[in-house]
Amino acid sequence: MPATTRVHFQEELQRLEDQALGGLDLVVATLDRTLEALEQHDTELAAMIVEDDDRIDGRYLEVHQGVLSLLALQAPVATDLRLVAAVLDVIKHFERMGDQCVNIAKLIPLAGHEPPARDEIMSRVMQMGRQASSQISQAQQAFALRDAGLAEDLPRQDEQINKLNREVFRLALDAGDDHDTREWAMTMLLVARALERIGDNAVDIGEQTAFVVTGLFREFTDASHPPAAGGASE
């Protein structure tokens, strides 16, 4: 590859990486709005979140098409291919995280305008959401800085979400015999599950950071189960 062509390739690949990482900013903003809608039982905001998912999907398609066009025009070397593969993985995960936000937003109207919320459940769900938002930002920073150590810290962070998810499950089972309360609690179980998956996707992006840095792909210690369980993430 001639030197000028190589420079152009590197510049275009950097632009696509920046766009991909910018997609994570979109997800953080969407998640923050989703948590606000959930906490305030704001069905209008929830509807806006569903409609705005096109922005995240559009970013996914833009980067995906850009990568394919770049590969079609120029033949990258092995190190470039590693980054190309990682960028494609990043956009896959931020698109999935956006979908999980939409799933939560669609559940909000089902809970009603003034649902019989239990503070002990809602507080844990909100903690899960804030932790997931923090993990997305950490995954983004780790990738941008090529910081494998920061990426490898994500499973430890993610275990906090998993612990809260188990607590929500336990509290939902003990929500009482009132039909409306139990129905709301089951809805919160679905919300917690969506937040847990967002955390898992952040960990997956961390794995891609380690792949770019080392050239070897390996799964981090699975954060979707208690530490003693081990196994592979979804």
In the chain, where the domains are located: 3-214
| CB-based contact 178:53 (threshold 8 Å) | no
pLDDT digits (tens, 9 = 90+) for 115-128: 788 999 999 999 99
User: Looking up tokens 């891609």, which residue turns up?
Assistant: 208
| CB-based contact 200:233 (threshold 8 Å) | yes
CATH code reported for the domain at 3-214? 1.20.58.220
Work out the burial of residue 20: count CB atoms within 10 Å of its CB; fewer than 13 is exposed, 13-18 middle, 19 or more buried.
buried
CA angle 220–224–229, rounded 5-degree value: 85
List the chain residues with pLDDT less than 70. Answer: 1-3, 112-113, 221-234
For position 220, what pLDDT does the model report?
87
| Residues 6+ positions from 58 with CB-CB distance below 8 Å | none
For position 177, what pLDDT does the model report?
81
Specify the pTM.
0.89
Token pair listed for 186? 């089951």
pLDDT digits (tens, 9 = 90+) for 15-27: 999 999 999 999 9
| CB-based contact 163:228 (threshold 8 Å) | no
